Structure 1
């Protein structure tokens, strides 16, 4: 099997540059309302379903606790979310939107609309790209799990 080593033929590079461009475009627009990209996706998850546990947020966002904990702390400090201890022993922590966090949704919707309008792709192409990106993510995760082999 012959492999092509040209940079512009590498799938990983195409995905890298596309992701970098997308996050950069969002970063600039989100900065106008004081959000980072990871705060933005965290808010998206909470707008979808408020009151998620910290572990559930980590799973949904694909973030480890070393990244998620400081992120949630900053978001609580800026008044976007509040953390609540749940259960008899208080070990389960759930994350809830504040009025400020809920209030950003319409501004974020405007940013999303502006960015989608700026992309030279129609709705069908964007839907296909999203589907393929998700499928690639799941597939590469399965392949990576298979390459790691049994643990000792």
Structure 2
């Protein structure tokens, strides 16, 4: 049997999770992207539109389409930022808050189901591994610097 690569395991798992979330979101006439956006907006103070993309790891063009659709559906509203007249805050409407709670419940249900099948120790290691992978990428230690093989990162 061929050994799976790390990127394959990450990609295949994320695609399965995304499919699952989109199926669940479809029951509520929404999408995973909308749910993720709802969860990323501060429900009390709103979130600057310029901070939302980086917070979600999304490109501005993709986020703009999602926000436009969300605004059309009455989930969000854009308001001038009182601290910075040049920027806009994205606020949840009452309907957006309701949908945010649904999204939050779906995410928590997923987390609870996983925690029932995976020990706390294994989950701790999982998060440690994902953190290291992210650090390697952020610090450009994969393709922009030479990495010695068989290095044990722990």
TM-score (norm 2): 0.76
Q: Confirm or deny: 8 A CA contact 1:47 1:102 kept in the other structure.
A: no
Identify the residue that residue 137 of structure 2 maps to in structure 1: 140
Q: Is the 8 A contact 2:39 2:103 kept in 1?
A: no
| Distance change (3 Å), C-alpha of 1:143 and 1:36 | same
Whose helix proportion is higher, 1 or 2? Answer: 1
Contact 1:46 1:96 in 2 (8 A): yes
Task: Go from structure 1 to structure 2 and tell me whether the alpha carbon gap of 1:47 and 1:54 turns closer, same or farther (over 3 Å shift).
Answer: closer
The unaligned stretches of length 5 or more in structure 2 are 146-154
Counterpart residue number, 1:3: none
Q: Could you list the runs of 5+ residues in structure 1 that have no partner in the other structure? A: 1-5
State whether residues 51 and 96 of structure 1, in contact with CA within 8 Å, keep that contact through their aligned partners in structure 2.
Answer: yes
Residue 33 (structure 2) pairs with residue 38 (structure 1) = yes
What is the RMSD of the two structures over their aligned residues, measured on CA atoms? 2.8
Secondary structure at the counterpart of residue 90 of structure 2: strand
What's the counterpart of residue 10 of structure 2? 15
Shift of 1:125: 3.3
1:7/1:13 contact within 8 Å kept: no
User: Contact (CA 8 Å) 2:42, 2:91: kept in 1 or not?
Assistant: no
Alpha-carbon distance in 1 for matches of 2:37, 2:126 = 22
2:47, 2:89 within 8 Å by CA — same for their partners in 1?
A: yes
Select 1:129's aligned residue among 123, 126, 139.
126
Query: CA contact under 8 A between 1:52 and 1:94: conserved in structure 2?
Result: yes
Aligned residues: 143
Mapped contact 1:25–1:115 kept (Cα < 8 A):
no
- Is 1:71 aligned with 2:61? no
Tell whether the 8 Å contact from 2:43 to 2:97 is kept in structure 1 after alignment.
no
Residue-by-residue CA offset, 1:109-140 (whole Å, 9 max, x unaligned): 33234333443324553454244323312321
